[in-house]
Amino acid sequence: MISEISPAGCPGAIGYRPPMASPDIAPAGGRASDRTALPRLTQATAVLTQEVEVVDEHGERGRVSIPAERDLTIYVDRRELVTLMTLGARPELLVLGYLLNQRLIESAADVESVTVDWEVGAAAVKTHAGIDRIEERTAQKVVTTGCGQGSVFGALMTGIDRLHLPGTRMTQAQLYALVNAIRIQESTYKSAGSVHGCALFTLGAGDDDVSLQTFVEDVGRHNAIDTIAGWIAMQPAQRLAGGRVFYTTGRLTSEMVIKSAQMGVAIVVSRSGITQMGHEIAQRVGLCAIGRATNRRFVCYAGVDRLVLQPELAGTR
């Protein structure tokens, strides 16, 4: 798994206190008021699986691994915002991506620090200048489909027509290479099941050239895509210069499609299918939505002009 990216001098996890007003402390090499700097992130760790005793259909006892699930309450400038249920693999990036995808912040540079402490299940976010009208903007919630955290603030559903996607195109060979990369990826799902996986790929110049940039698992696909959004926000622009492709094991719902488009992703691939609203939004913003992608099978639901078809690679029916 790709390690988390954080600025030099990032402190380790510390004991949580309800965020208090405190003097700005300038990071090494920069001023505290520098709004172009990346936020300081802790690197809180947690056990991702645990063993439990089970009884199978033959009445035989055994032990199996199951994924962890823990609550993480987000505080923004001393104000409690939301509690997420999460596996806990990359909590700081999850929090950052959540704020970005909910459009509560415009960029990672709006945040000074994210501090996670699993002992109390809390994440303290300190912004540089606060979040304008935060109570008003978080008042309306929309309950979404799926497991894990499944609610978004109403603002996510607005501004769809203002999304402009890059002209990314992908070959069928690259699609197959992407699916194979996921197949051989080590994962919590393989050892314990019951989690969703999401990944971000970039496309190279070669016919089947793809590069796995990051892979994330969580108890809900919502958390996984938010974590990837947080990861993207911490990367230098040149690292993601190639066309971006998002992969998920979960359904392509409206939320997943909108969040993908917000991340500058023009092609999404799912092992599962797509919902009606997900399909409508994909068509509306010009996003290529591919589902049922396993081995050499797939269905392109929308944006087929972004897919360079090579049917000879599919083999016999």
The pLDDT of residue 152 = 52
Q: What is the mean pLDDT of the chain?
A: 85
Query: What's the rounded Cα separation, in Å, for the pair 41 and 310?
Result: 44
- Top CATH class of 162-314 equals alpha beta
Cβ–Cβ under 8 Å, residues 262 and 273: no
Cβ–Cβ under 8 Å, residues 38 and 108: yes
- The closest of 134, 100, 96 to 115, measured between CA atoms, is 96
The pLDDT of residue 34 = 46
Query: Above 70 in pLDDT, residue 143?
Result: no
Q: What is the tens place of the pLDDT at every residue in 20-42?
A: 332 232 222 333 334 568 999 99
Mean pLDDT, range 40-65, rounded to an integer: 96
Range in 22-36, 45-59, 264-278, 292-306 with the lowest mean pLDDT: 22-36
Pairing of strands 111-117, 40-41: parallel
- The closest of 303, 255, 260 to 278, measured between CA atoms, is 255
Cβ–Cβ under 8 Å, residues 236 and 102: no
Mean pLDDT, range 260-275, rounded to an integer: 96
Dihedral pair phi/psi, residue 309, rounded to 5°: -70, 140
Cβ partners under 8 Å of residue 3, min gap 6 = none
Cβ–Cβ under 8 Å, residues 252 and 270: yes
Mean pLDDT, range 120-145, rounded to an integer: 82
The pLDDT of residue 14 = 31
Query: What's the rounded Cα separation, in Å, for the pair 210 and 199?
Result: 12
The pLDDT of residue 25 = 28
Q: What is the tens place of the pLDDT at every residue in 188-219?
A: 777 776 789 999 999 999 999 999 999 999 99
The pLDDT of residue 16 = 31
If residue 172 lies in a helix (H) or strand (E), which one and from where to where? helix 172-183
If residue 297 lies in a helix (H) or strand (E), which one and from where to where? strand 297-302
The pLDDT of residue 156 = 61
Range in 49-63, 118-132, 141-155, 158-172 with the lowest mean pLDDT: 141-155
Residue 49: strand pairing partners: 67
Report the length, in residues, of the chain: 317
Looking up tokens 């008021």 gives 33
Query: What's the rounded Cα separation, in Å, for the pair 248 and 90?
Result: 17
